[in-house]
C-alpha cells in the first residue's frame, strides 16, 4: 500500500483504538495529521505521541489546559472546542476516520465531507440524523464515503456500484446481542454491565447497549438506506449469532453475495484505510471447520421493539430518524447511569417519536434544532420513568 496521511476523529474510543493499532503496525506508511477526543486527555496524549500526530484536539474546552500540559515539549499542537474539531476534520488528509460516538460527530464529519475528503465513516449516528444532508454534501464536494461498520463494509465490498438496479435485497446480519435468548423478565432486570457484555464484539458502551436493544440494527438499516441506492423495502435484518457473515446482497438472478470474516473491526477499518488498495491486518483468519455451523433466525420484534421503531422512522424519512436517534442517545445515557431500566429505553424512544412531529430537513441547522427538541422531550420522558 502507498503511504498516506490520516486524521482520526474519536481516536480514544474503540474504533479509534483499532485504527491506531493498524497505523502503529506500519508507522512509516502513515502521517497522522490530527487525533481528536472529547476529554480523555491521557489517552489522547499517549496516542498522539505514539503515532507522532501533528495536532491533538479535545472537543471539551475545559480539557484544553490538561492537553497542553500533557503535550508540552513534544511539538504536537493542542487545540480545543467544537470549531477546532471541525477545523481538524476539514484540514487536508488522505483519509478521515469518523469515529466519534453519537450526533456529536455530525458537524466534524460533515466538515470533512464538505472538504471533499475520503471519509471512513464509523459514526453511524451522523448518517441516521442527517443522511440526506451528508450525501448531498458528498455529491457536491466529490467526497467518498467508505463504511467502517462491518455490515456496511461487507455490503460495500459485494455491491455492484455500477449497476444498483441489479440488486434486489440487502440483508443486514445481526448477532442478536446479549439478550437474544433472554426472557422479557430478564431483560426488564438487565443491568448496564449485562447489556454491555456483547457475545461477539468488543465495542464502546453506547453501541453495546444499542446492540442489546437491536436499536443498533435499526440505525444500521437507516445507514444502509443512505449509503446504498436501495428503497427501505429492500432492506432486511437476519439474526446470525456467529457474526461470521457480515451481510448479504441479493441480485435479480437470485444470487446472494456475502463477505465473511472473524469479528474484528480491524478488517473493515483496514479496508477503508487502504481503499481502493488492500492492506494486511492482524485479524484472526476464519477457520470454517472450527466454526462448523452458521445459523440464521428472524428477529423477534416483540422483545426488541426498537428495531420496528427504527424501521418506521426510516420509512417516514425527514427528521424522523434524527428524533429517534436523539431519544435513543438520551435513554441509553440514562440507562448506563443506572437511572432507568433496560426496557425503558425503547419506551422512551417510542414516547418521543410519538410526541415530536417529523418534518423535512435540508440543512445541518435544521437537524441540530430538531435534535435539541427531541432531546428535551426524551429527557422529560426519561424523568417520568426514573426509578
Ligand atoms: P467509544 O465510546 O468507544 O468512543 C467514542 C469516541 O468519541 C471517543 O474518542 C470519545 O472521546 C469521542 N467523543 C465522545 N463524545 C464526544 C463529543 N461530544 N465530541 C467529540 N468527541 C466525542 O465509541 P465506539 O468507538 O464504540 O463507536 C464510535 C462510533 O462508531 C459510533 O458511532 C458507533 O456506533 C460506531 N461503530 C462502532 C463499532 C465498534 O466496534 N466499537 C462498530 C461499528 C460502528 P473521549 O474518549 O474523550 O470521551
Cα–Cα distance measured from residue 73 to residue 76, given in angstroms and rounded to the nearest whole number: 8
Nearest atom in ligand 1 to 41's CA: 47
Q: CB count, 10 Å around CB of 239?
A: 19
Whether residue 217 is found in the same domain as residue 122: no
Per-residue pLDDT reduced to its tens digit, 182-201: 999 999 999 999 999 988 88
Q: Is the CB of 266 under 6 A from ligand 1?
A: no
Cα–Cα distance measured from residue 225 to residue 130, given in angstroms and rounded to the nearest whole number: 12
Q: Is the CB of 38 under 6 A from ligand 1?
A: yes
Residue 12: which residues within 8 A CB-CB, separation 6 or more? 37, 38, 40, 43, 44, 47
**Once rounded to an integer, what is the mean pLDDT over residues 292-309?**
97
Cα–Cα distance measured from residue 376 to residue 358, given in angstroms and rounded to the nearest whole number: 15
Helix, coil or strand: residue 262? coil
pLDDT over 70 at 335, yes or no:
yes
Cα–Cα distance measured from residue 87 to residue 9, given in angstroms and rounded to the nearest whole number: 11
Whether residue 132 is found in the same domain as residue 157: no
Whether residue 16 is found in the same domain as residue 135: yes
Closest CA to 45 of 20, 18, 82: 20
**pLDDT given at position 387:** 63
Q: Is the CB of 204 under 6 A from ligand 1?
A: yes
**DSSP structural state of residue 387:** -
Whether residue 181 is found in the same domain as residue 263: yes
Q: Is the CB of 14 under 6 A from ligand 1?
A: yes
Whether residue 56 is found in the same domain as residue 15: yes
Whether residue 137 is found in the same domain as residue 163: no
Instruction: Please classify residue 384 by burial: count the beta carbons closer than 10 Å to its beta carbon, then call 0-12 exposed, 13-18 middle and 19+ buried.
Output: exposed
**Once rounded to an integer, what is the mean pLDDT over residues 349-362?**
97
Indicate which CATH number applies to the domain containing 128: 3.40.50.720
CB 135 within 8 A of CB 145: yes
Place 163 in a pLDDT band, splitting at 50, 70 and 90. very high
Nearest atom in ligand 1 to 204's CA: 26
CB 60 within 8 A of CB 80: yes
Whether residue 121 is found in the same domain as residue 209: no
pLDDT over 90 at 292, yes or no:
no
Cα–Cα distance measured from residue 186 to residue 198, given in angstroms and rounded to the nearest whole number: 16
Q: Is the CB of 351 under 6 A from ligand 1?
A: no
**pLDDT given at position 135:** 97
**pLDDT given at position 200:** 85
Nearest atom in ligand 1 to 122's CA: 30
Q: Which of 57, 203, 223 to mutate to test the pocket of ligand 1 (most atoms within 8 A of CB)?
A: 203
Q: Which residue has the higher pLDDT, 200 or 381?
A: 381
CB 378 within 8 A of CB 335: no
Rounded to the nearest 10 degrees, how much is the dihedral formed by the CA atoms of 254, 220, 174, 298? Answer: -60
Beta bridge partners of 34: 7, 55
User: Of the candidates 313, 343, 365, which is a domain's last residue?
Assistant: 313
Whether residue 267 is found in the same domain as residue 380: no
Q: Pick the residue whose CA is nearest to atom 23 on ligand 1.
A: 204
Whether residue 44 is found in the same domain as residue 160: no
Q: Is the CB of 104 under 6 A from ligand 1?
A: yes
- How far away, in angstroms, is 16 Cα from ligand 1 center? 8
Nearest atom in ligand 1 to 265's CA: 40
**pLDDT given at position 149:** 97
Q: Is the CB of 15 under 6 A from ligand 1?
A: yes
Q: Is the CB of 329 under 6 A from ligand 1?
A: no
**Once rounded to an integer, what is the mean pLDDT over residues 34-53?**
98
| Sign of the CA dihedral with 322 first, then 323, 328, and 333 last | positive
- How far away, in angstroms, is 160 Cα from ligand 1 center? 30
**Once rounded to an integer, what is the mean pLDDT over residues 317-321?**
98
E strands, the chain, where?
Answer: 4-9, 30-37, 55-58, 77-80, 95-98, 118-121, 144-147, 167-174, 235-239, 245-251, 256-260
Instruction: Please classify residue 233 by burial: count the beta carbons closer than 10 Å to its beta carbon, then call 0-12 exposed, 13-18 middle and 19+ buried.
Output: exposed
Domain that includes residue 127, residue range: 4-147
Q: Which long-range contacts (CB under 8 A, 24 or more apart) does 252-255 make?
A: 252/166, 252/167, 252/168
- How far away, in angstroms, is 164 Cα from ligand 1 center? 31
Give the number of domains in the chain: 3
CB 313 within 8 A of CB 323: yes
Q: DSSP assignment of 136-194, as one string?
A: HHHHHHT-EEEE-SHHHHHHHHH--TT-GGGEEEEEEEE---TTTT--HHHHHT--HHH
Q: CB count, 10 Å around CB of 43?
A: 16
Whether residue 49 is found in the same domain as residue 175: no
**Once rounded to an integer, what is the mean pLDDT over residues 104-120?**
98
Place 145 in a pLDDT band, splitting at 50, 70 and 90. very high
**pLDDT given at position 133:** 97
**pLDDT given at position 16:** 98
Whether residue 217 is found in the same domain as residue 271: yes
Helix, coil or strand: residue 115? coil
Residue that is written with C-alpha cell 446470525 in the block: 240
Q: Is the CB of 10 under 6 A from ligand 1?
A: yes
Rounded to the nearest 10 degrees, how much is the dihedral formed by the CA atoms of 363, 367, 373, 379? Answer: -170
CB 155 within 8 A of CB 249: yes
- How far away, in angstroms, is 323 Cα from ligand 1 center? 20
User: Of the candidates 131, 147, 163, which is a domain's last residue?
Assistant: 147
Q: Pick the residue whose CA is nearest to atom 19 on ligand 1.
A: 38
- How far away, in angstroms, is 98 Cα from ligand 1 center? 9
Burial code (b: 16+ CB inside 10 Å, e: under 16) for 253-277 equals: eeeebbbebebbbbbbbbbbbbbee
- How far away, in angstroms, is 59 Cα from ligand 1 center? 13
User: Of the candidates 147, 181, 213, which is a domain's last residue?
Assistant: 147
Task: Quote the mean pLDDT of the chain.
Answer: 97
Place 202 in a pLDDT band, splitting at 50, 70 and 90. confident
Q: Is the CB of 37 under 6 A from ligand 1?
A: yes
Q: Is the CB of 336 under 6 A from ligand 1?
A: no
- How far away, in angstroms, is 99 Cα from ligand 1 center? 5
Whether residue 18 is found in the same domain as residue 135: yes
Amino acid at each position: 500500500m502507498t503511504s498516506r496521511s490520516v486524521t482520526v476523529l474519536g481516536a480514544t474510543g474503540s474504533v479509534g483504538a483499532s485504527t491506531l493499532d493498524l497505523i502503529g503496525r506500519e508507522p512509516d506508511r502513515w502521517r497522522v495529521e490530527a487525533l481528536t477526543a472529547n476529554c480523555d486527555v491521557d489517552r489522547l496524549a499517549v496516542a498522539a505521541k505514539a503515532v507522532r500526530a501533528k495536532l491533538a484536539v479535545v472537543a471539551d474546552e475545559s480539557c484544553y489546559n490538561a492537553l497542553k500540559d500533557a503535550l508540552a515539549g513534544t511539538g504536537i499542537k493542542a487545540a480545543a472546542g467544537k470549531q477546532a474539531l471541525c477545523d481538524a476534520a476539514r484540514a487536508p488528509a488522505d483519509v478521515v476516520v469518523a469515529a466519534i460516538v453519537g450526533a456529536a460527530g455530525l458537524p466534524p464529519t460533515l466538515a470533512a465531507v464538505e472538504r471533499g475528503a475520503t471519509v471512513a465513516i464509523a459514526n453511524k449516528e451522523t448518517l441516521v440524523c442527517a443522511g440526506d444532508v451528508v450525501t448531498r454534501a458528498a455529491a457536491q464536494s466529490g467526497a467518498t464515503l467508505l463504511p467502517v461498520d462491518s455490515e456496511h463494509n461487507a455490503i460495500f465490498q459485494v455491491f455492484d456500484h455500477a449497476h444498483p438496479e441489479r440488486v434486489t435485497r440487502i440483508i443486514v446480519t445481526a448477532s442478536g446481542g446479549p439478550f437474544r435468548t433472554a426472557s422479557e423478565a430478564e431483560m426488564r432486570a438487565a443491568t448496564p454491565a449485562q447489556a454491555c457484555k456483547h457475545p461477539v464484539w468488543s465495542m464502546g458502551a453506547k453501541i453495546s447497549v444499542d446492540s442489546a436493544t437491536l436499536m443498533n440494527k435499526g440505525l444500521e438499516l437507516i445507514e444502509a438506506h443512505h449509503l446504498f441506492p436501495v428503497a427501505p423495502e429492500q432492506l432486511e435484518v437476519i439474526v446470525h449469532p456467529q457474526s461470521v457473515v457480515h451481510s448479504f446482497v441479493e441480485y435479480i438472478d437470485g444470487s446472494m453475495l456475502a463477505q465473511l470474516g472473524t469479528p474484528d473491526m480491524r478488517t473493515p477499518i483496514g479496508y477503508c484505510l487502504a481503499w481502493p488498495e488492500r492492506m494486511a491486518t492482524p485479524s484472526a483468519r476464519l477457520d470454517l471447520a472450527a466454526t462448523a455451523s452458521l445459523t440464521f433466525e428472524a428477529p423477534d420484534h416483540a422483545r426488541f421493539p426498537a428495531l420496528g421503531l427504527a424501521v418506521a422512522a426510516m420509512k417516514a424519512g425527514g427528521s424522523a430518524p434524527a428524533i429517534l436517534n436523539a431519544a435513543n442517545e438520551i435513554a441509553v445515557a440514562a440507562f448506563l447511569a443506572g437511572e432507568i431500566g433496560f426496557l425503558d429505553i425503547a419506551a422512551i424512544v417510542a414516547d418521543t417519536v410519538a410526541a415530536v412531529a417529523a418534518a423535512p430537513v435540508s440543512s445541518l441547522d435544521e437537524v441540530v434544532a430538531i435534535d435539541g427538541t427531541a432531546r428535551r422531550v426524551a429527557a422529560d420522558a426519561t424523568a417520568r420513568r426514573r426509578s
